[in-house]
Structure 1
Amino acid sequence: MKNQTKVKVQRKKYIRVPQTEKMKLKYLFSIAALILFISSCENDTKPLNKDQSINGVVAGHDAHSYSNTDEIRTKHLDLELDVDFEKKTIYGIARHQMERLKDTDTAIFDINGPEIQKVTLGKKGQEKETDFIIGTMQEFIGQPLSIKIDKNTEYINIYYKTTENAGALDWMEPELTEGKKHPYLYTQGQAILTRTWIPVQGTPANRITYSADVTVPVELLALMSASNPQVKNPEGKYHFEMKQPIPVYLIALAVGNLEYKSLGKNCGVYTEPEMIDKAVWEFEDLPKMIRAAENLYGPYQWEQYDVIVLPYSFPFGGMENPRLTFANPTLIAGDRSAVSVIAHELAHSWSGNLVTNASWNDFWLNEGFTVYFENRIMEELYGKEVADMLSLIEFQELQTEMAQLDQEDTHLKLKLSKRNPDDGMTSVAYVKGAFLLKTLERDFGRQRFDAFLKRYFKDHAFQTLTTEQFKTYLEKNLINKTDIKFNVDEWLYKPGLPKNCYAVSSPRFEKIQALAREFANGKDIFKKPAKKKGKKQLPALSRDQYVPQEWQAFIRALPKKMDPERLAIVDEKLHFNNWGNAEVATEWYVLAINSNYTEIRPDIEKFISKVGRRKFLLPIYTALNDNPQSKQWGLEIYKKYRNNYHPVSIATMDDLLDYKP
């Protein structure tokens, strides 16, 4: 996932239940059976009520899952889903094929919202109802669904429907889509939201294959993170297969009025018809990216790589759902200036999807590797100068965010027990992780380090990994093969950035930053330069003389507050106020808010009424909230457009603004 931005909030704690508590479940099932027997006589298959529920056991290997995958685990999931837009409900059956690892009479799943209607054991058509208990709700992780099984249980079938508490689902009215005629639905599973729409064993340590049969309105196309159709089915029925094992947070669904166009032999783009031509042009280099990635670190192992451009409410820049990257339409900047996000999501096909963090404490293994890999792809396609500018932008963001975080949260290896795993999705995991790899590359040499990474992806393909396992592998296969000393523990387990951190520089950034300082000091930087004798007349400063990343550096080099009249001059000459590049626009809007440049408010409102990407919403609403002259206006704007955003963005903004609807 690209471009997470976090806000620090106070959260409630939950109580970890001792592992020994799990042993008590078998004694409680006799009570549950009696209650379920009585309720079945009344044709009511509802689970135990709140007073009768019990606490589950948080899995010892993962503080964010109750599942007992060390005893019995899902190895294949077959879904039957009926998508009802009128009721904003998915009616589902989750058929889990299990692998028993130890003797147990209980299989525990994670849920956080689905209404469980009944549970059966056995193959489809040969099912027998069984007892189940839903445990006490705990913040962030939801509830344990404990199911009674017998020694021969191989199939567990969970009948359920989603509720309004499904935080993964974004049901969109037609007016919020590009075409304005059809509704739209998409999911966002990372980190632990898949359990809000599918009962699963929710730890990333367990990889599964899955299949699905999905029914949707006939005028819409359904897609998943699996093998996908390219045209609509006249009956609205679709079958999907994901034959490579993946963690459940990568199960994804999108349903809308969609069109597909190929970009190459194994890649293409889906989006609404109104955006398809723009998307095809913007992502034209995708086949080159795939070739560059394969040349670096080995074959792409997912057969097809497609991108779906979702509606603007999607809370992230991209999400690496295998075979089908979910992308925010802010990537369609009109000048291909935001395609590094696509390079990032493609890189996840190796780091994150192929080799996955075993828990959310190890999240940097997903994102640090991916940011490094993304930068190598960008260097291969567009040159080192561009890649270095992209790295500098991210490094500046890392330095800013680290200054606001608790010291412990600047470690690569995190401690997220009793916390929302989203708290670990900061630039530390992304950029500090990437700069660890950049530092290793510098110290051990690119050729040797590339060989190490290529072998790393091959040796751990379709596996999960902890930070400690990575450290052992790194020392054995790279560090200990040389006489070079490297401070691995400091990078992994200590706060901040070590002194040996790789330093990236950019002469082009230095030039544009000098220009910003001149403007801040009152110089007319837009005046046409005087013509020198015998030389060609140089043009006046214009926006197309620099790339968007340079203009980001320009804005960041300006004072945090400026005379609004000076900012109006920039808008008159460079039109930052309505640029298609959302990265530059966001930087500009924040400076404008801090400077009380109120003439730009209509442009800000237009932007945040449409864009739901959390990376952009958070700094804008933060600036509005922190400025007494704009705080009330910001709150009114938020209330006006709040329902345009995904639940992920809504939760962050509600916390930031202390808003309670």
Structure 2
Amino acid sequence: MRILFPVFAALLATTAPAAFAQQARPAPILTTPEAKDVWTHAQPEVARVTHVALDLTADFTKKTMRGTATLDILAAKSAKQIVLDVDDLAIAAVTSAAGKPLPYTVGQDDPELGQALTIQLNGASRVVVRYETKPGASALQWLPPQLTAGKDKPYLFSQGQPINNRSWIPTQDSPGVRQTWDAKITVPTALVAVMSGERLDGAKGQPAGKGMHSFRFRMDKPVPPYLIAMAVGDLAFKATGPRSGVWTEPSQLDAAAYEVGDVEKMIDAAEALYGPYRWGRYDMLVLPPSFPFGGMENPTLTFLTPTIITGDRSNTDVVAHELAHSWSGNLVTNATWSDSWLNEGFTTYFENRIMEAVYGQERAAMYADLDWDGLQSDIKDAGGAQAPTTRLHGDPGATFGQLDYFKGSTFLRTVEQAVGRARFDGYLRSYFDRHAFQPQTTAGFLADLRANLIKGDQALEAQLQLDRWAYQPGLPENAVHVQSATLAQVDARLAAVKVGGPISAVQPQGWSTQQWMRFLNGLPRQQTPARLKELDESLGLSKFNNAYVRSAWAELAIANRYDPALPSIRAFVNSVGRGLLIRPIYEGLMKQGDWGQPIARRFFAEARGTYHPATAAGVEKIVAGN
């Protein structure tokens, strides 16, 4: 049962900060046992942040952000202090809003969680932290001009999920502590700043003196802190509809706008399914290749990888996925990272429904069928159906591979089939309404499902096996597998290849990314050098302009120690920073012992500077054998 923490009424009774007084009632915090966030130093049940106001200047020479964060605090009457999360920030001063110094301490560094910044409130309901980030801040990537599309101006972007934002914003960095925010970002006049909130200035911002100008933003809806995001660069904008558009470097603008051109149809489809889009605009930012994810659902400004730009809109499922997060994740958020499937599993299911509405049932079936393949592969690679990391609810960050996405969406699809689509859609729409702008746990969701969908139907309860899906490893036998007729045709060609048929007979002209992935991932992992050469020469795999295809080809080549593919693989890992596409390459090389491990370390040494800090740290663990 979802409850508010015991001192919440007392917190509301305290004198509210000026900024907070203009806001609606703050989002509740859950304090049920499963809602305790072990990835934060904060004690929000004692004192919590309700609003963050940033005033920061980007210094591209020093690779730092410096300025202030002003935090509105809601505290119990007995609270003496507030605890924030920071990660290697240089704290210069902490004061009250009136400028009175407040005592503070910075705790010992935890290699995973950073430090606790403990501030003595001395009656203050607003605190001002003056600070500077470090050049190696885990959320920030500073790109030199040569790593951008234009090769002329530098670039900066942030990536906060799950807990990286504490390296540039001192706040309570927990998804269960939702906060409103505003910001002024000052940058060189040759560059443009964008953020995940309402834009308050025009394209040129406001003059700030000495070759600088400022841009102001605000988010008046409480969001989890990981959704505060910004980017600075040589950016241009093109509208894709009345409430959507795309930002990117000028040379990529037309291609990016074409690729995401169906976004207004997607917004309409999403609203028809699960209610109004509540964030105003839905703009997108296509980043340089070092962006570590396929997309990031930052409100009002989804961040996208350039690897989706293939000219055929076959990867717009990424756009649909990030849009769906506007309901599942941004509107209703996992309270802790132990329940990240509540964000990603819901969103993957919702994404598929959007794709079906816009592109038809068969295209949606292709995505679902491939997700099923990924689910089976992840369970196998995790160690089998009894592996603890195949549970949906577990230790934060421990779920194997993409099981949060694939097992979570399969769970919801299984419920849909059991109760009927119309009934399930009605339930989900009401679920998003009931829990809008609130955190959620697995236990809370299952309780809501039982109260508002199952309603005491014991036969349905037994059929669904809710607790087994959520808390047990593996895949229940009632799991629904959607099969694609299009991919079945690919399977037929694949079967001919497996028995020695010529590669030239595959005839993949016009294939989408999904068809290519089914084919390449379905090939036997053991191949002769002659067969690999035939594959490469007949299909042009080493020179393919689709990053998904290049990554899948690299995995196959590495599994067979195929040296002729190494120049292509080297070029690929030096030009793409998306973790989903490069991690399997490094993992594959490391599995190849004396042949692959020196190659992995050499490639990483060359490419490291092109990766986002979080990606670089992850790959470093792989090549170190951890």
Q: TM-score, normalised on structure 2?
A: 0.90
For residues 656 and 81 of structure 1, the distance between their equivalents in structure 2, rounded to whole angstroms, comes to 35
Aligned pairs (5 A) from 1:201-600: 201-228=172-199, 231-233=203-205, 235=207, 236-405=213-382, 407-416=387-396, 421=397, 423-424=398-399, 426-480=401-455, 482=457, 483-485=459-461, 486-524=464-502, 526-527=504-505, 541-600=506-565
Residue type of the alignment partner of 2:428:
L
For residues 161 and 621 of structure 1, the distance between their equivalents in structure 2, rounded to whole angstroms, comes to 34
Partner SS state of residue 175, structure 1: helix
Per the alignment, residue 185 of structure 1 pairs with 156
In structure 2, relative to structure 1, the CA distance for the partners of 1:172 and 1:570 (3 Å cut) is: same
Percent identity of equivalent pairs: 40
CA deviation digits over 1:572-613, x for unaligned, max 9? Answer: 332222223222221111112222332222222221111000
Partner SS state of residue 501, structure 2: coil
In structure 2, relative to structure 1, the CA distance for the partners of 1:157 and 1:425 (3 Å cut) is: farther
CA deviation digits over 1:415-453, x for unaligned, max 9? Answer: 23xxxx4x4473121111101100000000000000000
Q: Note if contact 1:561-1:595 (Cα within 8 Å) is conserved in structure 2.
A: yes
Q: Which residue of the other structure, out of 44, 57, 69, is the alignment partner of 1:82?
A: 57
Tell me how far 1:60 sits from its aligned partner.
8.4
Tell me how far 1:275 sits from its aligned partner.
0.4
In structure 2, relative to structure 1, the CA distance for the partners of 1:616 and 1:378 (3 Å cut) is: same
Per the alignment, residue 604 of structure 2 pairs with 638
CA deviation digits over 1:585-643, x for unaligned, max 9? Answer: 21111112222332222222221111000011111112222224343233212111111
Deviates more, 1:65-74 or 1:186-195: 65-74
For residues 255 and 436 of structure 2, the distance between their equivalents in structure 1, rounded to whole angstroms, comes to 35
Q: Note if contact 2:228-2:298 (Cα within 8 Å) is conserved in structure 1.
A: yes
Structure 1: where are the runs of 5+ without partners?
A: 1-57, 528-540
In structure 2, relative to structure 1, the CA distance for the partners of 1:230 and 1:432 (3 Å cut) is: farther
For residues 605 and 216 of structure 1, the distance between their equivalents in structure 2, rounded to whole angstroms, comes to 35
Tell me how far 1:506 sits from its aligned partner.
2.1
Tell me how far 1:542 sits from its aligned partner.
2.9
Q: Note if contact 1:172-1:184 (Cα within 8 Å) is conserved in structure 2.
A: yes
CA deviation digits over 1:215-254, x for unaligned, max 9? Answer: 0000000011111356233632111111111010111110
For residues 108 and 499 of structure 1, the distance between their equivalents in structure 2, rounded to whole angstroms, comes to 46
Tell me how far 1:102 sits from its aligned partner.
4.4
Aligned pairs (5 A) from 1:96-107: 96-107=71-82
Partner SS state of residue 549, structure 2: helix
For residues 175 and 111 of structure 1, the distance between their equivalents in structure 2, rounded to whole angstroms, comes to 31
CA deviation digits over 1:348-386, x for unaligned, max 9? Answer: 000000000011111110111000000111111111211
Residue type of the alignment partner of 2:161:
Q
Q: Note if contact 1:221-1:255 (Cα within 8 Å) is conserved in structure 2.
A: yes
Tell me how far 1:646 sits from its aligned partner.
0.7
For residues 437 and 459 of structure 1, the distance between their equivalents in structure 2, rounded to whole angstroms, comes to 18
In structure 2, relative to structure 1, the CA distance for the partners of 1:59 and 1:170 (3 Å cut) is: farther
How large is the RMSD of aligned CA atoms in angstroms?
A: 1.8
CA deviation digits over 1:28-57, x for unaligned, max 9? Answer: xxxxxxxxxxxxxxxxxxxxxxxxxxxxxx
Q: Note if contact 2:345-2:407 (Cα within 8 Å) is conserved in structure 1.
A: yes
Tell me how far 1:545 sits from its aligned partner.
4.3
In structure 2, relative to structure 1, the CA distance for the partners of 1:564 and 1:119 (3 Å cut) is: same
Q: How many residues are matched?
A: 581
Deviates more, 1:509-518 or 1:555-564: 509-518
Partner SS state of residue 403, structure 1: helix
In structure 2, relative to structure 1, the CA distance for the partners of 1:265 and 1:497 (3 Å cut) is: same
Partner SS state of residue 262, structure 1: strand
Aligned pairs (5 A) from 1:34-53: none
Per the alignment, residue 140 of structure 1 pairs with 112
Q: Note if contact 2:293-2:305 (Cα within 8 Å) is conserved in structure 1.
A: yes
Tell me how far 1:512 sits from its aligned partner.
1.5
For residues 475 and 60 of structure 1, the distance between their equivalents in structure 2, rounded to whole angstroms, comes to 19
Q: Which residue of the other structure, out of 87, 92, 98, is the alignment partner of 1:112?
A: 87
Partner SS state of residue 99, structure 1: strand
In structure 2, relative to structure 1, the CA distance for the partners of 1:368 and 1:260 (3 Å cut) is: same
Structure 2: where are the runs of 5+ without partners?
A: 1-32, 208-212
Q: Note if contact 2:34-2:441 (Cα within 8 Å) is conserved in structure 1.
A: no
Superposed structure 1 runs of 4+ greater than 6 Å apart: none
For residues 410 and 165 of structure 2, the distance between their equivalents in structure 1, rounded to whole angstroms, comes to 31
Q: TM-score, normalised on structure 1?
A: 0.85
Residue type of the alignment partner of 1:501:
A
For residues 408 and 454 of structure 2, the distance between their equivalents in structure 1, rounded to whole angstroms, comes to 17
Q: Note if contact 1:72-1:102 (Cα within 8 Å) is conserved in structure 2.
A: no
Partner SS state of residue 174, structure 2: coil
Q: Note if contact 1:66-1:110 (Cα within 8 Å) is conserved in structure 2.
A: yes
For residues 408 and 523 of structure 1, the distance between their equivalents in structure 2, rounded to whole angstroms, comes to 41
Q: Which residue of the other structure, out of 604, 617, 620, is the alignment partner of 1:651?
A: 617
Deviates more, 1:298-307 or 1:229-238: 229-238
In structure 2, relative to structure 1, the CA distance for the partners of 1:464 and 1:595 (3 Å cut) is: same
